[in-house]
Amino acid sequence: MASPGGWGFSVPELVLVFSGKRKSGKDFVTDRIQRRLGSEVCGILRLSGPLKQQYAQEHGLDLDQLLGSGPYKERYRADMIHWGETRRLQDPGFFCRLATRGIRQPVWVVSDARRLSDLQWFRSKFPLQTQCVRVQSSEETRMQRGWSFTAGVDDAESECGLDSGVQFDWIITNEGDAPSLDEQLQPILKLAEEASSSSSISRS
Ligand SMILES: Nc1ncnc2c1ncn2[C@@H]1O[C@H](COP(=O)(O)OP(=O)(O)O)[C@@H](O)[C@H]1O
Ligand SMILES: C[C@@](O)(CCOP(=O)(O)OP(=O)(O)O)CC(=O)O
């Protein structure tokens, strides 16, 4: 790993910034990447982590339930989006900075980018290391996973901010009839393995 970055993290060798619609499988895919690489090599960063923590604290809510995938989070989602947007307007890198604190692994996987400002923050801090990955699934598949259209959420920037204007480095199709995830993830895993081995060489 390279030398400390000065804001509580070490400089990463590779930053994979994931985005995708609700229930496209961002958590599923990023968890699989971490399992393949191991948690010593790969750290998962959730931009929504510090957002939920702060929101729960200010509103006297149950953080564990906001972090879970049940109906509690959905009850507060629209208001959390609005609350987070107010914070981002004042400081677009606010949640990115908090999410990167204390991350020590050489490969970072950001599981939930939603806005151009999220991508811009990582690209500007780590221009050589950042790669953007889109996870996509059909609406039919997302519905089978429990998604249904919610006005104020699915038509808001939180879900649509990266629908256009982004050149993704990788697109993963997370569907039953697509090539297997392992096959699609292979080049990304290879890149991550190369990055982490160069970090262990630079450490030794
Ligand atoms: N390839 C897959 N095979 C089986 N289940 C999947 C797959 N992708 C996603 N899922 C399931 O679909 C649901 C939504 O996936 P999740 O990763 O939480 O989506 P997101 O983080 O994009 O909202 C979860 O229950 C997850 O386990
Ligand atoms: C207010 C949010 O941060 C809530 C995100 O929660 P999750 O990241 O848990 O969401 P999904 O994986 O899509 O279900 C969205 C935002 O606009 O920042």
Nearest protein Cα to ligand 2, atom 18? 81
Is 118 inside any structural domain? yes
Is 81 inside any structural domain? yes
Give the ligand at the shortest distance from the Cα of 135: 1
Domain span at 120: 4-197
Is 115 inside any structural domain? yes
Query: If we measure between CA atoms, which residue out of 204, 6, 7, 18 comes closest to residue 107?
Result: 18
User: CB under 6 Å to ligand 1: residues?
Assistant: 20, 22-28, 69, 145, 174, 181
Is 136 inside any structural domain? yes
Domain count, the chain: 1
Is 156 inside any structural domain? yes
ipTM of the complex: 0.96
pLDDT tens figures, 148-176: 999 999 999 999 999 999 999 999 999 99
Determine the average pLDDT of the residues in 187-191. 98
Query: If we measure between CA atoms, which residue out of 36, 200, 179, 204 comes closest to residue 105?
Result: 200
pLDDT tens figures, 57-88: 999 999 999 998 788 999 999 999 999 999 99
Is 202 inside any structural domain? no
Tell me the CATH number at 184. 3.40.50.300
Nearest protein Cα to ligand 2, atom 12? 22
Is 203 inside any structural domain? no
CA of 52 to the centre of ligand 2 (A): 9
Q: Is the pTM of this model over 0.90?
A: yes
Is 151 inside any structural domain? yes
Give the three-state DSSP class for 200. Answer: helix
